[in-house]
Amino acid sequence: MPNTIIYPTINLYLYDLKEGLGEDERKVAQNSQEFWQKIDSNLDEKTLTPKHKNTDADIIQLLDTPYHQFPAPLDGWYYPLQIGDTYALQVNYSGKFNPNGKFNDDAQSLDEKPFYQLQQEILQKIAHKIGTIGQTWVLSGKLTGAKTESEIEKIALESYSQILTNSNWQRDIIGKGTLLGGTLFELWYRPENTGLTAREFWDKFRQESHHILIWLFPDNQTPDEMRQNIQFLYYDFLRLFQYRHKIIWAYHQSLYHKSLLKKEYIEIQPAINGIRQLTQAIKNQPINLTQIQKTLSDSLISLSDYTLALNYLENQGRTIEVNLRNYEERINYMIKKYPRSDIKVIAKFSSEIYGAKYHRQVVSDCQNFQPGLTLLKNMNSTIQGIINLEQTKSDRALDDTIAIAGIGVSLSGLTATAISIQQPPPNSYTNFSFLASPVFVLSFLPSAPFLIILIYRLFHSQKK
């Protein structure tokens, strides 16, 4: 006899990034457009409240009414919010109302794959798009008749297989607990990275990973009590899953920036080795200032790129830290709010296995790449020092040359003046006989040593 379930329901919690670090207005507008494309295509844009443009508030309701109902006879709705720098969308769907317009509380056979049908219709509603940060599927329903623990798990397994085609219960199960009288299972499927880059793998991860909660209520709860209990958790789940997916998103972004830093570090090694050789060669041979200035320009670009990537990596670490703390605080709040429940299973995410591990890894990566920044700064300082030294040498040589030439010219002029006053002026301006005169020849004698030095310096500098 097939297992049956009453009022099977799916709540999808989907999250998009509203505004990332360093994104301009065009990108922010694009993020907004992509989020609204997940909402019902029949949604009238005029019904959207302009409050979503206010970036100061922490939580902003994006519709004039809290819920946007699906058209009759569909039993479902959208609930979009802006939470800080994140768009959140909750999609609730339970199939169709009964012919009287009431909730359909008839038992449904799991063989008919009700959860698969609900998921497909939700995907159609959101145009088969996924969250840019992530999403969680919460499956719920009321059991028919008394069930043993193993029977409840079997129903959960069957429900899970309807959502994920390549499901593997033993591989994906995180654990189980209890919540408001129902049995709660948490599962998480994560694809493997088969040689993809960090950015490529994140795209694959977003498409293929599935975080799923299955919440099955006992037969002794009425359908109305079950619906009320599920409603109690709407906001808690909305915030909790936001923190969870923000942590996972930030961790995968950190892997991308880590790969950039590795690449930058490898690319600067030849420049570092070149500077080491240059500092040794400067003692024995002249330096090409044009080439060394180009090296400085290139290294400044490397420093800028490296610093930017390291700043982004550190920012992802802070994002994980803040959301990990928020996740833990929300869990503690829920433990106090629902004292008869056992939600250790969803508290595991903040443990060393997941969230805390991610945070520790990013902190370690930041520390490992920090010396590279110091190395780049020191390299730039070394190059600039070499340039300053060579320019100082060049300026000093030029000053000496000018001084020598000036002294020679001055002495020559004085000599010529002193001797010329003893000679009669030429008869005409076309008379060049003075070139052979003793006065003209004698005027060069005081400046001759300086001219020789000047010629030697010029010749020696050309050889360099």
Distance in angstroms (rounded) separating the CA atoms of residues 256 and 200: 9
Give pLDDT, residue 70. 93
Which run of H or E residues covers position 208? helix 198-208
Question: Which amino acid type is present at position 16?
Answer: D
Alpha-carbon separation of residue 163 from 16, 123, 139, 211 (angstroms)? 22, 12, 9, 11
Amino acid at 247: I
Return the number of other C-beta atoms located less than 10 Å from residue 428's C-beta. 6
Instruction: Find the helix or strand (DSSP H, E) in which 59 lies.
Output: strand 59-61
Determine the Cα–Cα distance for residues 379 and 295; give it in Å rounded to an integer: 10
- DSSP 3-state percent helix, strand, coil across the chain (nearest 5): 60, 15, 25
Q: How high is the pLDDT of residue 404?
A: 46
Give me the average pLDDT of each 10-residue run along the chain (464 residues): 94 93 82 84 52 65 86 95 94 96 96 97 94 98 96 98 94 97 98 93 95 98 98 97 98 95 81 67 61 59 76 94 97 96 95 89 92 70 64 54 47 46 52 54 55 58 52
Cα distance between residue 295 and residue 40, in whole Å: 56
Tokens of 108: 């449904």
Closest among 452, 464, 463 to 401, alpha carbons compared: 452
**Contacts by residues 449-456 (CB-CB < 8 Å, ≥ 24 positions apart):** 449/408, 450/404, 450/405, 450/407, 450/408, 450/411, 451/405, 451/408, 453/404, 454/401, 454/404, 454/405, 454/408
Predicted pLDDT of residue 401? 47
Distance CA 318, CA 262 (A): 21
Four-CA torsion 98, 101, 102, 108, nearest 10 degrees:
20
Q: How many helices (H) and strands (E) does the chain have?
A: 12, 10
CA dist., res. 175 & res. 385, Å (int): 61
Q: What is the model's pLDDT at position 409? A: 44
Whole-angstrom distance, CA of residue 268 vs CA of residue 376: 8
CA dist 452 to 93, 406, 414, 458, Å?
A: 99, 13, 19, 10
Cα radius of gyration (the chain) = 39
